Chains A and B, each alone.
Chain A
Amino acid sequence: MGDPFAMAITHAHASGMGGMRGAGDLVARVQMTRGMRIEQAKAYVAEKLKVAISDLTDPVIMGEVRQDLNLGIMTPLPGCAKGIEAKFNIAQVLDIDINCVKRFAGRTTIS
């Protein structure tokens, strides 16, 4: 319960990693697939992206990193990886399995 301004937006500003504006979605994926706790998950993602842990919530740095690695960006530029395309790249860069990526590959002729 609670309206989105009060809950989701307030928590995102107060203590969230910023989602795709930073590396919040990437750290979340490592927590979810490898069961890592937050410090370990941040360190893992930072190492894979070759950035400092403090960079993970910086929208300027992460915007460039995400664009360079084609991991999906907030403002979808022409030709950049979007949606499932970006998730193929995320799985490879982070060396994790992403359920929908595996199933996409299994349902198409790319596997």
Chain B
Amino acid sequence: MGNIVTRYGDGTVLELSEEELMEDLQRGSQDAAERGQIDPLAQSELEHIRDIFKCPFRFLSVEPGNEVILTYDAGTLKIRRVGVNVDRIQALQIYEKIMGADTMELNHVDYSYKPVKPIITMEQPILEQALLVTHIPLFYGAQPNLGLYSQPDGPFPNPGELMPMGKIKEAQQSYEASVAHLVADIVSAGSAMYESGADGINLDTTGAAGDADFLAALLATEKLKAKYPDICIQMGMAGEFVLGMHSELTYKGERLAGMYPHQQVKMAEAAGATMFGPVINTNTNESAPWNLARTVTYTKACGEVAQIPVHANMGMGVGGVTVNDHPPMDIVSRSSKAIVEICRLDGL
């Protein structure tokens, strides 16, 4: 008979005994340790997460003094997505003055660098006006989204169609050609927004299309940093594991496919990124404790080796947060507290 009320990774309610809770925490941490070849959480850390889940309150927070900086992806889009009809400058002000945001991000609804490039001159004046009336640092952000460069959305043959036909080399060549175009688009749009005064450029959901997507983000970061040495670039990932869709791409001599967060952050640093956002995906079939222990294990390893600020992604479906459009605050606040208190984090 369970007596600790928690949830599955999809948000549905689950009741666990204390023994079952500890077992899930151990299994989650062990899963991350084995996959990432990193240390599992110590017994004291598992017990700290256990105590967080045992606490009966609907909302938990970090102790005073442990607060961290919050950055946002798809910032202004989240106001539009829930059907609140304000423009983007108003959305930035709502976050700044009403929602306690430390930073904020301006973005377009078509949240990828390829579609924003041709309309960038319409984006620049919005940012320039927003910067006159806001106080907190403003990022401009979008996703690399390499998938937009293959047919039917882009010019290059679709690797997803080539690979089942055994055309592996052709698929790899398509990825390589796409990388060059994506880098050019990120550098073009990123340069324009930086020259309009953006405090930072956010590359969100990096690696969503695999190792080639990650490589493009790294190369674009390198180019932007060379062009503007003072630019702040935040690189947020798409998942805990870089998919080897090409499989042989390297950066600074390191193979990108198969990298976990503690390895990804070293690539981001080498490219010149200012901040890094690791992502750990939520498994809906497992419990929230399992997912959170797994997230903390990966993220702790990342924070320990990082030389740059680490802002863990804690949105819907990642970072121990349930996969649901309306994540329950009992899980979000527990995840927020646990990851900040156990990992060496600089922000979320």
Interface residues of A (CB under 8 A from B): 1-21, 24-25, 27-29, 31-33, 35-38, 41, 53-54, 57, 71-72, 74, 82-84, 86-87, 90, 97-100, 103-104
CB atoms of B132 and A84 under 8 A apart: yes
The digit string for B22-46, where 1 denotes a CB below 8 A from any CB of A, is 0000000000000000000000000
A29 adjacent to B137 (CB under 8 Å): yes
B residues adjacent to A (C-beta < 8 A)? 59-62, 64-72, 74, 78-79, 81-82, 95-97, 99-103, 128, 131-137, 194-200, 230, 232, 274-275, 308-309, 314-317, 321, 325-329, 332-333, 336-337, 340, 344-348
Q: Which of A2, A5, A53 contacts B321 (CB 8 A)?
A: A2
Nearest CB of chain B from residue A92's CB, rounded to whole Å: 15
**B137 and A11 within 8 A (CB):** no
Cα–Cα distance between A24 and B97 once the two chains are bound (Å): 12
Bound together, the chains give a CA A25 to CA B199 distance in angstroms of: 12
List 11 interface pairs A-B (beta carbons < 8 Å), by A numbering: A3-B325, A4-B99, A7-B315, A9-B99, A10-B333, A14-B61, A19-B96, A28-B71, A32-B137, A74-B97, A84-B132
Interface of B is mostly: loop
Contact A31 B346 (CB under 8 A): yes
Task: Tell whether, in the assembled complex, residue B332 and residue A99 are in contact, meaning their CB atoms are under 8 Å apart.
Answer: no
In contact, B61 and A28 (Cβ under 8 angstroms):
no
Residue of B nearest to A97 (CB): B230
Question: Within 8 Å CB of A36, what residues of B?
Answer: 309
Does B199 lie within 8 Å of A15, measured CB to CB? Answer: no
Contact of A17 among B67, B79, B274, B325 (CB under 8 A): B67
Select one of A5, A10, A14, A19 contacting B101, CB under 8 A.
A19
- Pick from A17, A32, A98: contact of B70, CB under 8 Å: A17
